[in-house]
Amino acid sequence: MDRRLQNSGLVLRIGGALSVGAFVLAWQIISTSGLISTVLLPSPLAVIEALVRVSENGYRGTTLLGDALVTSARCLAGFALATIVGVPFGLAMGSSKRLAASFNYIIQFLRPLPPLSYMILLILWFGASEMSKVVLLFLTAFPIIVSAAMAGVRNVQGRRLQAARMLGASQHQIFWHVTLPSSLPLIFTGLKIAFAAAFQTVVAAELLTAQSGLGWMVLSASKYLQNALVILGVILLGLIGMTFSRLLHAADLRFIHWRGID
């Protein structure tokens, strides 16, 4: 088992590259052979062509970079707001039983609710504007982040708090030097989950109501059967989502260097 865990990075990368290379090659061969209509399944080359064409000319009055930025900006706006409000709120709920009792049931009702189910309400209330999308993403990420911060505070080991108290730390010091650092690993795990959820939701929301963004581009291209563009959009969305998750993960490793040390 131990040896298997050490799938050295190099083997993994070379093997992975070979596997992906073989897949793309098979895809190109199937498209060229005409087994499947290229309208349904454009070849990898057609996808690259679409990338070049759209980066040069844009798509229906929007640029590819602009669409990618709009999608990212919406997602980050909702996520950032949820982080700024959710982390302090969750920490407070973790510290105060009364606060938790007053609001936890709302959070726990919202958390498993599919965000798209109440999107139509947000559209009714805020219009099909940026506002309704940012509120939607906020509501997607917020309960996850609050729950993580609350769990983080509650999981702080009692003996750490007792030790700090015994050494004469004030409430203020205990919070900043014991509770917060001890709960940060769980908070970061929550942030990663919340981001993934927000990213799924932003794409769904763009498919429904947007006039810009990569999700909108994918839907619009599919209506005109421009499948190369659809595939390109999906791949770009995957890459953007992956990049942001990696960044969060890197920030986690960097800032929470005490994770797993007890």
Partner 1 sequence: MRAPPWLFTLVSIVAIIALWVGVTAAGLVSPLFLPSPAQVWSGAVDLFETGYNGTSLLHHIGISLVRVLAGFGTGAVVGTMVGLAMGSWRGFNVAVEPYIEFLRPLPQLGYLVLLIIWFGIGETSKIVLLFLTALPVAAVAARDGVLSVPAQRIRAARMLGANPRQIFFRVVLPSALPEIFIGMRLAIGLVYATLIAAEILAGSDGIGWVVFNAGQFLRADYVFVGVIIIGLMGLILDRTLVLAERRIVHWAGR
Would you count residue 114 as binding partner 1 (CB under 8 A)? yes
Would you count residue 198 as binding partner 1 (CB under 8 A)? no
Q: Report in angstroms how near the CB of residue 240 gets to partner 1 at its nearest.
A: 9
Identity of the residue, 88 or 238, whose beta carbon is nearer to partner 1 in the bound complex: 238
Distance CA 223, CA 207 (A): 12
Among residue numbers 229 through 248, which ones bind partner 1 (CB under 8 A)? 230-231, 233-234, 237-238, 241-242, 245
Among residue numbers 2 through 41, which ones bind partner 1 (CB under 8 A)? 2, 4-5, 7, 11-12, 15-16, 18-20, 23, 40-41
Would you count residue 84 as binding partner 1 (CB under 8 A)? no
Q: Report in angstroms how near the CB of residue 67 gets to partner 1 at its nearest.
A: 13
Give strand pairing partners of 62: 59
Would you count residue 50 as binding partner 1 (CB under 8 A)? no
Would you count residue 200 as binding partner 1 (CB under 8 A)? yes
- Total residues interacting with partner 1, rule: CB under 8 A: 62
Identity of the residue, 98 or 254, whose beta carbon is nearer to partner 1 in the bound complex: 98
Of 49-57, 112-120, 155-163, 176-184: span binding partner 1 (CB under 8 A)? 112-120
Q: Report in angstroms how near the CB of residue 260 gets to partner 1 at its nearest.
A: 14
